[in-house]
Amino acid sequence: MVLKEQPLRADSFRRVASVIVSVLLLAGCASGGPAGEGRWPEGTAGVVPAEIARLNEHLGQLAERLRAGLVQVRVRRAEAPAGEGSEPVLPDEPRSASGSGFLIREDGLVVTNAHVVSDATRIQVRLQDGRRFEGKVIGKDTRVDLALVKVEGVRGLPVLSLGDSNRLRVGEFVLALGHPFGLEQTVSLGIVSRKGPPLQVAAPGFDFIQTDASVNPGNSGGPLVNMAGEVVGVNSMAARNGSIGFAIPVNLVKSLLPQLIEKGKVEWGWLGVGIDEVSDEDLAKLGLKESRGVVVRRVMPGEPAEKGGLRPNDVVLAVDGTRVDAPRDLQRIIATAPVGKIVKLTIVRGGQEADLAVTVGPYREPVVRPASPPGPHP
């Protein structure tokens, strides 16, 4: 007898296919193949060394606690009108930008950088909880790149504590907080790499805090914090790739706050001289016994140094008995001296020591000449 092949019905085909797929899946799971084929290895709750676990917990709590006092500073700058018939103006600086800052008083006093709020026609301060307030610059100093912004009509805001930057040591852990690239609050961890002159020499002889904690555009004005949660610096500048950052030491900030609050500016002392280190050639030429002090290379006409009798090639050894070993020492001493104070300069002139009485004058910002009109852009 010949058996005829019966056609497989649709429902029977689906049942058979389902069985085949199930068998193949089970076979794949039980194959015990190498990692990366089929399934991936699942992590297990590993044991973190106790010291690392404590550090992780401390950093997490610290970052969470500091966030409330961190603010974002948004600014709007005036549009530069193009003259009739002139080339269209393509400004080098953006007309709107943002930086960072932090609260130091419950009534809305914010510390930030001067370059963040420079030429701003409108300032908006955004708090961690999302609230936004209009801000006003009440004090600014471009030499140190420091500014104070006041938010009106608020009370009871969270503040950050100011520490002691003189106690900060190279190698210590620090956190850099801010809003880089306009992002939400970020925290980066690093160490104090160095304490010394910053990338720019505008600051009159003060040592800045160098750190490898990431400082990028938008971090400017944010706090640099030690492991006790105290502000030890104000992030101010960084290398182009963000690998090296510099912060204004908080002890310098605290010394300038009274003037910024009361006068809206800092009155720096000024002599009006061009100075340099003592070179080997200067020892014999100027009749010096040792290589110390600073050489006066130039005396500006009509300035306090000339009025006090200082001349080119004089070597300043001390100010009011405080030894001067390098140009930065003289810059720092004079810059922080009250305007109008008479200081005693101990100098060497022609191989002989002498004392001069010089009245400290006010530092004036250099006059910035207007830039030439921009040419056509491609």
**Structure tokens of 164?**
């002691």
Determine the straight-line distance between the first and last CA of the chain, rounded to whole angstroms: 92
Q: What is the C-alpha separation between 85 and 80, in angstroms, rounded?
A: 15
The DSSP H or E segment spanning 261 is: helix 250-262
Non-local CB neighbours of 259 within 8 Å, separated by 6+ positions: 139, 265, 266, 267
Q: Does the active-site annotation cover 145?
A: yes
Q: What is the C-alpha separation between 154 and 108, in angstroms, rounded?
A: 6
What SS3 class is residue 141?
Answer: strand
Q: What is the C-alpha separation between 185 and 177, in angstroms, rounded?
A: 7
CA distances from 158 to 68, 69, 113, 135 (A): 6, 5, 20, 17
Is residue 314 a contact partner of residue 351, using CB atoms and an 8 Å limit?
Answer: no
Is residue 290 a contact partner of residue 304, using CB atoms and an 8 Å limit?
Answer: no
Q: Does the active-site annotation cover 179?
A: no
Is residue 175 a contact partner of residue 300, using CB atoms and an 8 Å limit?
Answer: no
Catalytic-labelled residue, pool 100, 220, 314, 329: 220
Non-local CB neighbours of 304 within 8 Å, separated by 6+ positions: 270, 271, 272, 358, 359, 360, 361
Q: Does the active-site annotation cover 92?
A: no
Catalytic-labelled residue, pool 145, 212, 314, 329: 145
Catalytic-labelled residue, pool 115, 188, 193, 236: 115
The DSSP H or E segment spanning 104 is: strand 96-105
**Structure tokens of 52?**
């690392």
Q: What is the C-alpha separation between 59 and 227, in angstroms, rounded?
A: 8
**Structure tokens of 181?**
């690239």
CA distances from 93 to 77, 118, 181, 354, 370 (A): 9, 11, 15, 51, 15
Q: What does DSSP assign to residue 33? A: P
Q: What is the C-alpha separation between 33 and 27, in angstroms, rounded?
A: 11
Which residues are annotated as catalytic? 115, 145, 220
